[in-house]
Structures are given as C-alpha cells and as structure tokens.
Amino acid sequence: MKTSIEQVQEFHEVFNHPVAESPTIPDQATVDFRVKFIREELDELVKAVEAGDLVELADALGDIQYVLDGFFLNAGLHEKKDAILTEIHRSNMSKACHSIEHAVETMNALGRDGYECYYQQIGGKYIVKRRSDGKVMKALGYCKPNLKPIINHAK
C-alpha cells in the first residue's frame, strides 16, 4: 500500500501539480493556494464538529492531511517528511518535566513571563499547562526541533 505522500504525489503527477525536486520555498501563488485551501478545510472541520458529523469530520481531517502532503511536495520536502515529523516529536516530548521540582521551576519561570500555569502528573512525567486553555507549555530545558540538518542533508 502506498503512503499518503505517495498517493498525493500520484495525484500531483496525474493532474500536473508542481513537485519540487529539492527543498525550496514554493512560489507565492502556490503558497497562497495551499493556505487558502487549508483554511477552507479547517472551516469544513469546524462545521463537521458543530454538526456532530463524524463522517464529515473524518473527511475534513483527511482533506487537511492531503493538502498538507501536497505542500510537502510543493516544497520538495516529501522525502524528508518522516524525519521532519520525528524531529518535531522529539522536540515536543522535551516539553515534559521529569520531576515536581522541574515542573515548579518551569511554572515559576513562565509566571515571570506572565503565564498562569499548573502542572499535572501523567505517568512518570509532569506536564505544565497554561491555565487559560490547557495548552502544554515548554519546560525549562525544552529543545527546539533541529530541522536544518534534515533540510540540508542530501536525499
């Protein structure tokens, strides 16, 4: 079975949509098209949730992924997608605190920056969240994703 990116690449080939051979910033018209398309699909997702329609929700999620995969192709990043997502996952996991002390230090630092936070223990980790909306916050020692070597590395 083909991966999602391979399926979208097939679509691009059949319908003559651009696929960059190497990492690049797509032209402005392509970027505008992709961003507009993503916004339209996000609107469909919101409507599906508001209507309680699981089938339409699945359709919207699938369409968003399809458009995103197309953007990976337009940007010549399709062969690096898995490595990019793996690195982003590694970075996101560094948001977890490994002790109560680490969580409290993180909350104190975020508090000095104007964020009101709390922490939750989940498994053996401590997760600091913004009180206003529950967003997971970056722990002290958070490691940004290092995408440059992935982008610059030859195929």
- Bridge partners, 125 (sequence order): 122
Q: Quick check: 67 and 11 in contact, CB under 8 A?
A: no
Residue 153's pLDDT is 78
Q: Where are the domains of the chain?
A: 4-89, 95-130
Q: pTM of the full predicted structure?
A: 0.89
Residue 98's pLDDT is 97
pLDDT in tens, 29-83: 999 999 999 999 999 999 999 999 999 999 999 999 999 999 999 999 999 999 9
Number of H helices, E strands in the chain: 6, 2
- What is the torsional sign of CA 120, 145, 73, 6? negative
Q: Which residues contact 84 (CB under 8 A, 6 or more apart)?
A: 77, 147, 150
The CATH number of the domain covering residues in 4-89:
1.10.3420.10
Residue 24 φ/ψ region, left for φ over 0, alpha for ψ in the -120 to 50 degree band, beta for the rest: beta
Residue 38's pLDDT is 97
User: 105 or 155: whose pLDDT is higher?
Assistant: 105
Angle between the N-to-C axes of helices 54-74 and 28-51, in degrees from 0 to 180, rounded to the nearest 10: 170
Residue 154's pLDDT is 55
Residue 113's pLDDT is 96
Is pLDDT at 19 greater than 90 in this prediction? Answer: yes
pLDDT in tens, 86-120: 999 999 999 999 999 999 999 999 999 999 999 99
One DSSP character per residue, 38-62 reads HHHHHHHHHHHHHHT-HHHHHHHHH
Report the distance separating Cα 83 and Cα 147, nearest Å: 9
